[in-house]
Amino acid sequence: MKDFMMLFHSEPNPDFNPTPEQIQEEVKAWQDWMGSIAAQGKLKNPGEALGFEGKIMHSDGTITDGPYAEVKEIIGGFTIVSADSIDDAIKLAEGCPALQNGGKVEVRDIMNFEGM
């Protein structure tokens, strides 16, 4: 088994003001989806949602604010899963609530440097 990171991308929607019920439905959808991966023994880290504030350090030492409001896409969170291959990891992404709202799931392998 190998570890993979799933990054959840979405587009900002300043007009979306969910009701408390909609928020609860969204939370439950995420819990159910992650629970299904955990039930398979493949959830390594339940992940976290990312906030809207951040800073970026550049190679020349300058620091800028980010993420930027003009960016068309944001990374809203992540999780780490175990799978036999990247194709198996992509199958785990099926049913992700981010996909129901027009978002996407980026799956990246995590390089293992132990024993090098």
The CATH number of residue 17's host domain is 3.30.70.1060
Residue 116 covered by a domain: no
Residue 74 covered by a domain: yes
CA distance 81 to 8: 13
Which tokens belong to 22? 């909609």
47: containing domain: 2-109
- The 10s digit of each residue's pLDDT in 40-51 is 999 998 888 887
Residue 35 covered by a domain: yes
Among candidate residues 105, 112, 114, 111, the one with its CA nearest the CA of residue 47: 105
Residue 95 covered by a domain: yes
- The 10s digit of each residue's pLDDT in 68-111 is 655 667 788 999 999 999 999 999 999 999 998 888 999 999 99
Instruction: Please state the domain count of the chain.
Output: 1
Residue 88 covered by a domain: yes
**Cα angle vertex 35, ends 88, 9, to 5°?**
65
Global model pTM greater than 0.75: yes
Residue 114 covered by a domain: no
